[in-house]
Amino acid sequence: MRLARARGRWYTWKKGGEDLDIFEGLNSAQREAVASTEGYIRVVAGAGSGKTRALARRFAYLVNDLGVTPGSILCVTFTNKSAAEMRQRIRALTGDSDTGHICTFHSFCVTVLQEDSHAVQYPKSFLVLDNADIDAMLARIYEERDLTLRHMTYSDARDMIEIRKGIEDPEYYLDMIDMDLETLHRKYLDAVSVRDIIFYGYLYEEKKCFGLDYNDLIFFTLYIFQQDREIRQKWQERLQYIMVDEFQDIDKPQYRLMRALCGYHRNLFIVGDPDQTIYTWRGASVKYLLDFDKEFSGTRTIMMMQNYRSTPEILAAANSLIAQNRNRMKKELTPTLPSGAPVVWMHCESPEDEAGRIAERIMALHDKGVPYRDMTLLYRAHYVTRTIEEVFIRLKLPYVIYSGVQFFSRAEVKDALSYLRLIAYRDDLSFMRVANVPRRNLGRRRMEFLREYAAKNACSLYDALCRCLDDELFRGTKARRLVSLVEELSAGCEGRSIAELLSDVLNRSGYEEYLRTEGSQERLDNLAELKQSVREYEETSGEECSLTHYLSHVALFSNSDADTGRDAVKLMTIHAAKGLEFPYVFLCCLNEGILPSKKTDSPEGMEEERRLAFVALTRAKRGLVLSDSEGRGHDGAPRYPSRFLLEIDRGLLVQDGRPRDSLVSEAREYISAHTARLSGASDAPQELFAPGDRVRHAAFGDGTVLEVDAARRVYVIKFDKTPTPRTLTLRVRLQRI
């Protein structure tokens, strides 16, 4: 019998009739993390240090030895993919399909709201909105208020809404909760600026269909915990142990949520790496990790610095780079693997040369037996890949871009899910998407009639159709068939599998036949894949397997959850690669203005760019190539090697093509001047003005602030002496008048 020892006691676990040593293969820091169950525990875990293994083993330790019920444990991850991986690991360790609450922040909030939504006067069947839903709402707002994409693109509008909810107007949710629908509608109609029209129009559209986006899930849950002591205490008592992964990426609302939840048992276990904080632009703050011991008295800190992922050569380069940051916890990753290939700096004459030489190295590795799928090309932003793609296509080199177009965003998949949502919720968004797909003669004129009827009678579009079936306008349409389909399937869905329901609705609606008529085999294959994913969900979800639970689950999927699985080189942004690892990594376009980004406007921002580069380097396991190129950028400015290349100890890099000394000197002069500008900008006063404020500009004179676009970091100001508004950076010197 195999035994494991922790805190002076010996323990055994059994799985499948065999003894399982929960501490086997763990180093001393990992063992300490697993065995430390009570109180506030902070684990500072460097890249590749095995934190996922430690988290999974700790969960298994709590369940298998201490006898804690899985439902009493909350383990929070930042992506659905990470949550799925964690559940798989824990099942293997415990032999139990019950894995408690292993989920993202948003998924956990869905669970809370589905149980306690009555506290905010919302039904349990509220909608979880995705980008397609939001865009549909925006389309209605734009049409009603005569806005065009010239005023603001949908993408910019979504960003504006997120920033306004999370940063500028964090109590927005009170309007959604406290205001009745008519009052909120009036606030929308009275709005004047484009930002206010879109924002309050969106809040109105959300409330009208009981829809909640990702921000709402967090804020609504916090509101319930603040206002209802009994509900808060119920969840506090239920969750005896709370674990949070990637704590360096936590934002203020998420921090408040975790603080509230651990208020009874006072068991909070966090894992993070301050050197991998790369999401400050969306509200994340590393201070919650760095100051954790100040906020939670008696915190025990465990350092996990042994790296099991990368070769010593790769780690040395990464350590050398990140050491340049001043605002960080001093630490260094320690390698455990044997020496490997040196890190290469490949300097190229042009972007075309860079793309060609990357392709040559990839094909050379492939000729040595390395699969294409083991090679990944990372970059700061998607726009830099055009030349690389052209070369790859010409050479017939297989690749896949992780660009955010995911399985659940494909048109046919959205259509199928909208049918399910229509059965469950009768909501307007789903109705508008599938009412005339396949064609039922419910075109623009009839849909406009339904919208007017619904507005006049305060009902949904689906209810409007039900009431108007006998109207002459709808004779000769297939509207009655649609209503019969929805009502019959809705009445009979209780106790029926979701997979069966999906197959039935796709068949009886004529949707699959419609795709066959079009000859779209690819789209039919996607529907087959959807059916398979539903079956897998039902097999692994346990007792909670209702249609509404499934729809909430699907709505929470992130872009990173998609994976083609074919043998192809992966192309992705560094942000998309966070939390992943790859045998061979090519980090391209390491030029000033690209990485670091030209948008970097403060010393703090530059440190985040350096952390981003650090994350990229530490994704590599066996091989790492860093590349830059000469030439000129889109603005005509010369392309200089990134300061991050110049900051790495030259002895740690093998040169493939050496930049001429004059170019390096010019680059250092540019970097020095840019650093001075950043320091100056950080010292400048940063009073933020609001729409309606009167201001004075040194050249333009007096004017009125019309808009503040935090996403683009600009003001729109109409000056008294200029015929048209001016768009100016938020750093502009203005005087309040």
Residues involved in catalysis? 51-52, 245-246, 276, 619
Contact between 697 and 731 under an 8 Å Cβ cutoff? The reply is: no
Closest CA to 348 of 339, 340, 338, 360: 360
Residue 472 corresponds to which amino acid? E
- Asked if residue 438 has a cis previous peptide bond (ω within 30° of 0), the answer is yes
C-alpha–C-alpha distance, residues 722 and 701, integer Å:
9
Residue 457 corresponds to which amino acid? N
DSSP string, 690-737: -TT-EEEETTTEEEEEEEEETTTTEEEEEETTSSS-EEEETTS--EE-
C-alpha–C-alpha distance, residues 441 and 461, integer Å:
16
DSSP string, 396-440: T--EEE--S--GGGSHHHHHHHHHHHHHHH--HHHHHHHTTSS--
Closest CA to 582 of 625, 518, 552, 528: 625
Contact between 697 and 727 under an 8 Å Cβ cutoff? The reply is: no
CA dihedral 362, 365, 369, 375 (to 10 degrees): -50
DSSP string, 150-161: TT--HHHHHHHH
- Asked if residue 596 has a cis previous peptide bond (ω within 30° of 0), the answer is yes
455: tokens are 């507005």
Closest CA to 358 of 712, 97, 140, 623: 623
284: tokens are 């994340």
556-to-80, 255, 359, 431, 561 alpha-carbon distances in Å: 8, 20, 36, 21, 10
Strand order in the sheet with 343-348: 399-401, 569-573, 375-379, 582-587, 620-629, 343-348, 653-656
533: tokens are 């994913």
With left for phi above 0 and alpha for psi between -120 and 50, is residue 310 left, alpha or beta?
beta
Residue 377 has φ and ψ, to the nearest 5°, of -105, 120
With a CB cutoff of 8 Å and minimum separation 6, the contacts of 646 are 664, 667, 668, 671
Contact between 35 and 7 under an 8 Å Cβ cutoff? The reply is: yes
DSSP string, 612-667: HHHHHHTTEEEEEEEEEE-SB-TTSPBP-B-HHHHHS-GGGEEEESPPPHHHHHHH
Task: Sort strands 211-212 and 127-128 into parallel, antiparallel or unpaired.
Answer: parallel
Contact between 577 and 376 under an 8 Å Cβ cutoff? The reply is: yes
